[in-house]
Amino acid sequence: MKILLITPENPFIRAFRRGQFNNFAQLTMPHLAGFVSRQHEVTLLDERTQSVDLDAPVDLVGITCSTPNASHVYRMADAFRVRGRLVVLGGPHPTLLPDEARPHADALVIGEAENTWPQLLEDLTRGGLQPEYRSCPGEPPSLEHLPTPRRDLIAGRGWLADTVIATRGCPHRCHFCNLRQIYAPDLRFRPVEEVAAEIRGLRSPFFAFWDDQLFMDRDYAHRLFKAMEGLNRRWAAMVTQDSVSDDRLLAAAARAGCTCLFLGLESFSEASLASVNKAFNRVEGYGDAIARIHTHGISVQAGIVFGFDGDDTSCFERTLDLITRMGLDGATVSILTPFPQTEIFRKLNESGRLLTQDWSYYNGKTAITFRPAQMSPEELWNGYMWFRRQFFSRRCILERTTRSRTRPLQTLALNWGYRRALNNPLPGWPIPDGDPGVNLDWSSVGR
Ligand code: B12
Ligand code: SF4
């Protein structure tokens, strides 16, 4: 059998991210390809670097589908099915909204697939594909003895092909996050020796951990970092503020090759954090957390989100001021987006504040999808655009790098990539049904 596994990328995200330097590959499809026995021929297609051939002579097409990609994926799936290909959809969006995804697939894989995907492959060989494969909530898949992801099939990513996952889940419950709806609640950990062996086999000198919260269990993290010492790889990972207070852990991470931590700060407003169940972040401790990480020679990339209920039009300038003084090395800046089945979606939907349920707007970068509490959608868009331009201005990059004094070359390269991406022309209009006559801040997005 010929199996084609697609990592899609919708036109909005592709346009938005062009020119950034940290576009590491997604692991989902290489991971699933690892389960396919050598009796089948499996191909990966990464839409960031390759085009989809709808006439490809394959028996089965598997597509992973997030909410921002949903409309794009449905169109692609329909086009494959018209040509007689069997299509399997899985991933966050079909798991969250299976009824919506069902008409676009011959089979849906709902939830985690380590147990169900092998079953589906077996059914395929016997010619009896079932319409739905659902992971059993009470029996989450084990992460032991997983097959090695087929990174050899990733095309066009160069040194950004290597990503690794060691854990699954997160102990927190932020109201904008989909983790608790897409994964079983149990936190799971891969055996450290298996993770270390996988890292030893990577081709690139650096990689990214795609775990949601790599430091969530300190004992596990210590054991993992011990096993990684001497592997001579540099890496980045995502962590939360409450997990970086331990100097011993940071020192162990640095010894294991950590050069950058992505810190989910989200907001500099206590009220905003409280409004989304993220009050475990302490704004007064942000400066200390960043300084402590810097002491270990690790740079900090923060996640910053605008549009929470505690945010008014002053949040952009205030955040910029604080973040610059703290010497933050970089940031991923997003607009709050209410993903389906989250607490925040429920709240905004019930209060009639959603502007659209067209999922192509739900990417956190190129559109506003709801009416903010303390400003207009236009003010949120203009403030977000203003913040990005200021944060990635030459002056601000220089000031932050000088204050941080941590890995300046890495920081300059990353910031330069984000700065280049500011000029990307983006398709579409950022406010669904918004007034095209309104004064939106387009100046440097080339529309
Ligand atoms: C790494 C990551 C990223 C990376 C890389 C993504 C990329 N290159 O495209 C970066 C940082 C760039 C990123 C960006 C974004 N991300 Co992201 N990301 C993740 C993260 C942490 C890990 C994904 C991963 O590799 N998982 C490991 C694999 C093995 O698991 P999996 O993908 O869930 O797949 C399993 C099952 O779902 C199933 N499965 C999945 N697909 C398929 C397909 C088939 C055919 C089958 C059979 C099975 C199957 O099998 C797998 C094994 O069990 C997830 C959270 C998470 N833990 O999954 C969020 C997550 C996917 N991201 C999310 C979001 C919202 C975003 C952004 C929109 C955020 C933003 N505002 O900028 C952007 C959009 C990016 C885009 N390309 O569209 C949401 C998606 C929610 C949703 N409803 O779709 C998630 C779930 C996070 C969350 N907390 O809610 N992300
Ligand atoms: S800390 Fe991050 S991964 Fe965990 S629930 Fe909150 S947003 Fe999701």
pLDDT, tens only, 319-372:
999 999 999 999 999 999 999 999 999 999 999 999 999 999 999 999 999 999
Residues 318 and 277 in one domain: yes
In tens, the pLDDT along 229-258 reads: 999 999 999 999 999 999 999 999 999 999
Q: How far is the CA of 140 from the centre of ligand 1 (A)?
A: 18
CB of 169 shorter than 6 A to ligand 1: no
Q: Is 323 in contact with 302 (CB distance < 8 Å)?
A: yes
Give me the number of domains the chain comprises.
2
Last residue of a domain, which of 134, 150, 185? 134
Residue 138 confidence (pLDDT): 84
For residue 386, what are the domain limits?
162-421
CB of 109 shorter than 6 A to ligand 2: no
Q: How far is the CA of 93 from the centre of ligand 1 (A)?
A: 10
What whole-number distance in Å separates Cα of residue 338 and Cα of residue 370? 8
147 part of a folded domain: no
440 part of a folded domain: no
- Which atom of ligand 1 is least distant from the CA of 340? 83
Q: Is the pTM of this model over 0.75?
A: yes
Residue type, 144: E
Among 73, 63, 70, 97, residue whose Cα is nearest residue 360: 70
Residues 37 and 77 in one domain: yes
426 part of a folded domain: no
Residue 443 confidence (pLDDT): 56
Q: How far is the CA of 436 from the centre of ligand 1 (A)?
A: 33
CB of 167 shorter than 6 A to ligand 1: no
The pLDDT-based confidence of 447 (bands split at 50, 70, 90) is very low
Mutate to test the pocket of ligand 2, among 173, 176, 187, 212 (most ligand atoms within 8 A of CB): 212
Residues 102 and 189 in one domain: no
Q: In what order do the strands lie in the sheet with 163-164?
A: 163-164, 206-209, 234-239, 258-266, 299-306, 330-335
- Which atom of ligand 2 is least distant from the CA of 171? 4
Residues 72 and 215 in one domain: no
User: Which residues, listed in sequence order, are joined to residue 207 by a DSSP beta bridge?
Assistant: 235
Mutate to test the pocket of ligand 1, among 16, 182, 342, 368 (most ligand atoms within 8 A of CB): 182
